[in-house]
Each structure stands twice: as C-alpha cells, then as structure tokens.
A and B are shown apart, each in its own frame.
Chain A
C-alpha cells in the first residue's frame, strides 16, 4: 500500500508564495485606515495602511465595511451592498446595527436585508463580556475563559477568525480568542523607526 504512495515536496511550486509574513488580523488604525497586522501574538507589526473606513469587522467568515455612502458585507467572495449615510456601525456575526438610524441589517445570501431580529451578541463566534475588571470569553463549546482587564473596553470588533480588536483606555489591543490560548495584547501603532 505504501509503495503506491508518492509524495512530492512542492512548496516551491505552490501557487501561493511558500514564505510570507504571517497575517494575523486587519483593523482600523487610529486614523481609520484599514491596516493589516502581521507577525506573531505579542509581536505585532502593522503593515501599510489601506483605505479609510468608518467601521470594519472581519470574523473570518464575513467581512463588514462601512464607508461613506455604503455598507458592504463580503462572504465567500460575494459582496452585498447597502446604501446608507451612516457613519457608525456595530457588527456582530451576520448582523450590522446602524445606531444613528436605529436600523438592523442581516446578511442573507448576497443581500443585506432589514431585520427586526435581535442581533447576536457574538463576536468572532464567541460571547465576550466585561465585568468586575475581567474579560469573560465564552467559547463556541460553552467553555468560559477569564482574563484580567482592569478597564471596560470602549470598543470591540472582530479582527480575524480568532482575534478581536479592542480599544481599552484609548489604546488598541488584540485579544486572542483561540480556545485554551486566550490572551490580551497591546497592539502598537505603526512603527516610527
């Protein structure tokens, strides 16, 4: 059986570059520019800033973007567009809430539809709560992980499948959500070296 198996090491021939800078997440920087974050946990390196957005979220399944005049949701390569004058949005799972107009939208197929359903409270598939100086992360399997976080986050968005972007005391943080490896890190601004 094993004699019939041939393995060809073809990293060099792979369609994807064999070596690259590990991508971790994408976040809006303090100027609102969409910025890729490379590196490793606790060793973050912000990349070149991209377009300026009003709000952004990416939980690895749906990428939400709010830019002047429109809201988009991209899932599996398909993008749904919704015209809006909103300047703020809160994204949770497949739902977006536009607080200024009190609208709630849900991504259904390739459309963004008004919804009266209560949006899920989940972020990147987890429920995250802050109370009593701690962050409580409830994983998809219901397990709870707790880490110290003295101050309540001012903002929380999904930044990748296993990362959340938090603003705490005006400082950007990345929260690793991987089950069993939950940890809160400071996210430095783009290097001025």
Chain B
C-alpha cells in the first residue's frame, strides 16, 4: 500500500520532472525505493542527484528535501524554476553514527523516494601528525601541493573494534597518487586496536589545477583532492663578480636564493641605465637589456639559458646602472654608479710614416667632454724638442660624440708632418683632459 502511494505520488510529475542519481558520468533514474549501498561507520558518503525538467514548459522547483537520521543536503535548497531540459544538481550526505540499516525520504516537489543504506564496520582513518593522530571524520580531504613537488599524506588505518576487522582490499587510484610503502596485498585482517600506516605520496603534475585520488580501505573510502599551485619564486639576490664595477667591463652577474627553490621558477633580470647620454654597449649577450633566468627545484643558483651567470657590458658612459631581478614575488635591485672620470686611454701607439709622426689613441671619455690635448716631443736622449703642442679639440670631440653610436669610445689619429730630420724624435708625452681631470698617457717611443 505504501509502495502504491509513492508510485501514485510520482505519476503527476512523470511527464515533466525526472530525478536521477549521478554515478560517475552516468545518470540512473531514482525509483520510489532506492538502495544507496553500504557505508563504513565513521565514514561519510555523498550521493549526487539531478532533477531534470523533461517537459516543454517551465517547471517551478519548490521542494528539494531529505529526511532521515544521518542524512542531510550538502547545501540548502533555494526554490527556482527550471526551463525545459534544464536540470538542477544537488547532493545528499549520509554520516552513520553506528552500524545498522538507515533510511530517508528524498522529496523533490511531489516526487519522493525511499532511500536505503547500510552502515557496516570499517576502519578508523587518521592523519599521523608525528606527535599524535588526528581522526579523519570527513569523506574527502583537500591538500595543497606546490608545482614540481611531492607531498606525503601520513594516513593510518586502525581497527577500533574489539573483534578482528576484515578489509577485502586496500587500494589507491588517481594519477600521481601512490602509497609510499606498499600496503598489504589482498584481503587484510586488522586485529583489535591494530594500526597500519598507509602514507600516500602525491606527485604534482606539470600544470596547475586539481588532481583527485581515492583511497579504499575495506569499506572505507577517502577522497584526496590535491590543489596544485605555483609556488611564487622568491626574489633572488643579485651577486656581482666585481665589488666596484667600472665602465668598459663585462660584468658577471649571478642570482642566488637564500633557500633552494621548491619548484621550477623563472624571472627576468633587467639592466636600466640612466645617464646624460644613452649607451648602446650596455647589453646582455643577446643584444638586449633584459634576460630570462630560471631556477631548477633544489637549486639556489639561477641559470641563464643554461649558463650560471649573465654577462652585461657596462658601456662607456657616466651614469647609474640599476639591475633588477624580477619574479612573481617582487623585485630585487642592485645599483652601480659610474662616476664621471678622466679620459681612459686603453691603447696608444706611436709610429713613423716617412717624415710624418703618427699617434693613435684609443679610449673612452665617460663624460664625452674632452677639452684639451697636449703633445710634448722628446729627442732620443730624452730632451724636450720645442714646447708643448696644444690642441683644443672640444668642438671636434663634441661633433664626433654627437654623431657616434658607440657611447664614449673614440679613436684619435694624429699626424705630425715633420720638417727636418724626423729621426731625432724619440718619444712623446700626451695629456688628455676633460672637465673631471687630466690623463697622462705613459711615454710613447717612436720605433
């Protein structure tokens, strides 16, 4: 008679409302009496349902409820209207207090179903904290795992009863989920009070997202949901190979972390130069002012396209060079000042070309303001010949630097036609000055 009433109650809705359980991806129609199976005591099971408007008119959904000891909707229901073919998903959680048979009535509008489930003895699951055990009283456990790392969930199963507990299977499913130590194979009997460790190792996949594993210990199931997140790379320290970098150098730059990188990480090393003039020589090897760096898990040293250091030319212009190591966590900077300084002569050559004395000076002026150039010639015995020959090449240098695309670098070629016996000239002293000071070129001997 009761069965007939339930059937009668479902009939008016049959044309427009149908209720299913969602089992994996399959939909199974819910009958007036529906067996949900077995659940381990201390476990909690969730059953997913779907109410579908199979009619051609809108369907007000006014009631979704479940009544019965240990049963509850996972979320409160709020009335809504389903358009034709539209569906509404909801879940029922069942948590048995003890062994036995349980039932509840599921009501969806005027449809109702008699739900049945059995609670059977099952193991207690714990998390081993190292200094104690914490019971797991939920059906699913959520953990966070950094990309590129592994996490071990220290699971322990125990028999809380005074009688032996038979576990038909102990298994684990899910991509990336493994037992750290193999569990007992086949059916296992836990003696009263016995505990077995079942540590689950979760290896994070290569991409962010979520992975799910299911631990089955006899009738008990535990769903492990691992959120894979990208651990922000800490900002590395900038280490220079030179405590007092100068212009016209190749600076070697390393990036170091205080602690080994947990996961692979990358960032950008930038060189920002501020000076009175630009300088195209200030570049990394690829010709740019920024370069990517990477940290491999477990490493404290960055690599630059596989190399342990980045090389940066420092140019030949006075100014401030700011190095910025940028990661998702922030920016670390290191500032290097190139103070204005007297002209630097890198190479000086004196030679004879017939009766002409030729002098080549190669160097740089980081102020780009050479103001004077003095030559003093000496005979082979070291006595001065005549006075100082001065040139005021400021305008010439200015024109050169204005048109040059090589920073403060220059090559000056001076030719001195000699009237008389040029072979008596043995050497020359040269002074070059800019606004900062004077540079004395070491004595040049004519061959």
Contacts and interface: CB of A to CB of B under 8 A. Distances in A.
A44 B313 contact: yes
24 contacts: A5-B386, A5-B418, A5-B424, A6-B418, A7-B357, A7-B416, A10-B414, A10-B415, A10-B416, A11-B413, A14-B413, A14-B415, A16-B413, A18-B396, A18-B412, A20-B413, A22-B410, A39-B406, A43-B364, A45-B281, A171-B285, A188-B313, A191-B280, A193-B278
Given A8-B416, A19-B412, A191 B287 contact: yes
Q: Is the interface of A mostly helix, strand, loop or mixed?
A: loop
B311 A186 contact: yes
A111 to B, nearest CB: 30
B48 interface: no
A40 B413 contact: no
Interface in A167-192: 169, 171-172, 185-192
Interface of A: 1-2, 4-14, 16-23, 38-46, 169, 171-172, 185-193
Given A45-B280, A189-B287, A21 B411 contact: yes
Interface in B287-328: 287-289, 306-307, 311, 313-316
A131 B313 CA distance: 28
Contacts of B391: 9, 11
Contacts of A13: 415
Interface string B386-424: 100101010011001000111101111111111111101
Interface in B57-95: none
Contacts of B418: 5-7
A172 B287 CA distance: 12
B425 interface: yes
A5 B414 contact: no
A181 to B, nearest CB: 10
- Point out which of B249, B278, B420 has the most chain A C-beta atoms below 10 A from its C-beta: B420
A42 B406 contact: no
Contact of B379 (A2, A8, A40, A186): A2
A193 B272 CA distance: 11
B98 interface: no
Contact of A43 (B377, B405, B409, B425): B409
Contacts of A4: 420-421
A39 B364 CA distance: 9
Contacts of B311: 186
B420 A5 contact: yes
Given A18-B412, A39-B281, A45-B406, A5 B346 contact: no
Interface residues of B, number: 58
A21 B316 CA distance: 13
Q: Which of B249, B313, B397, B416 gathers most chain A CB within 10 Å? A: B313
Contacts of A192: 283, 286-288
A6 B306 CA distance: 61
Contact of A45 (B346, B405, B412): B405
Nearest to B288: A192
Nearest to B379: A2
A13 B396 CA distance: 12
Contacts of A14: 413-415
A11 B283 contact: no
A40 B346 contact: yes
B105 interface: no
Contacts of B281: 39, 43-45, 191
B152 interface: no
B375 interface: yes
A149 to B, nearest CB: 13
A171 B306 CA distance: 12
Contact of A21 (B284, B346, B406): B406
B33 interface: no
Given A19-B400, A20-B413, 14 more contacts: A5-B385, A5-B421, A6-B419, A7-B385, A12-B396, A14-B415, A21-B404, A22-B362, A41-B346, A43-B247, A43-B250, A191-B281, A192-B287, A193-B283
